[in-house]
Amino acid sequence: MTRTAIVTGAARGIGAAVAQRLAADGHAVGVIDLDEAACADTVAAIADAGGRALAVGADVADSAAVAGAVSRVADELGAPTILVNNAGIIRDNLLFKMTEDDWDAVLSVHLRGAFLMSREVQKHQVEAGWGRIVNLSSTSALGNRGQANYAAAKAGMQGFTKTLAIELGRYGVTANAIAPGFIVTDMTRATAARIGVEFEQFVEFNAKEIPVGRPGHPGDIAAAAAFFCSAEAGFVSGQVLYVAGGPRA
């Protein structure tokens, strides 16, 4: 059955891969990112493959922008019943160097953004009596040096997810989280730059620590998201799936 999905932070990386996978599964996709023009490549890839997509620029931490974005998707693609909260930023630093702005920015985009998007989309899901919410957490939720803000946000996403599952389950809406491990993206490239390591060396070093012997790629996360968004996953809710190549990755 064709449904309408929204993927945030979908201009590139994991978000773009998820948007393209959901489109390949037959869904129309609202591609949301801070810069609407930056969504063009993702929308073009979906259109070239025969799918339907709409680029929408919105700050997910701004309630008015979120309401406008979801309304636009509903008007142009149909009421959204699938939501993937992927938008995120990093402002890495050791605790004694971390500024209040670093903390607030990361918590705002990840947690406030997921809250605002979920609150807006659940209206359509409850009305339809069916819905899927997938939140992006991270293995950093377990703690990671230099990422007190990011780790706190990603741990918060897990508690948020489990609460959504409890509150929305009676309306046919499931909520699950994916916690990626080391994934080759612009964000991990930025981490390598922050610590002064060549990206190729950074990838090679991290791959050695992963039991399956390779780094993750956005498509690995998209595959997990596709399952959680499927009709067959209706009895799976409130779960956190670590997609990390092994239990300690």
What residues act catalytically?
Answer: 150
| Residue carrying the six token digits 């002064």 | 196
- The helix/strand/coil state of 106 is helix
Q: Taking the CA atoms of the chain, what radius of gyration do you get in angstroms?
A: 17
| Strand segments (E) across 64-212 | 80-85, 131-136, 173-180
32 vs 57: CA distance, rounded Å: 6
CB neighbourhood size of 141 (10 A): 22
Residues in a beta bridge with 53 = 29
Which long-range CB contacts under 8 A does 12-15 form with residues at least 24 apart? 12/38, 12/41, 12/42, 12/185, 12/186, 13/183, 13/185, 13/186, 13/187, 13/218, 14/86, 14/136, 14/180, 14/183, 14/185, 14/218, 14/221, 14/222, 15/42, 15/84, 15/86, 15/87
Cβ–Cβ < 8 Å for 64, 38: no
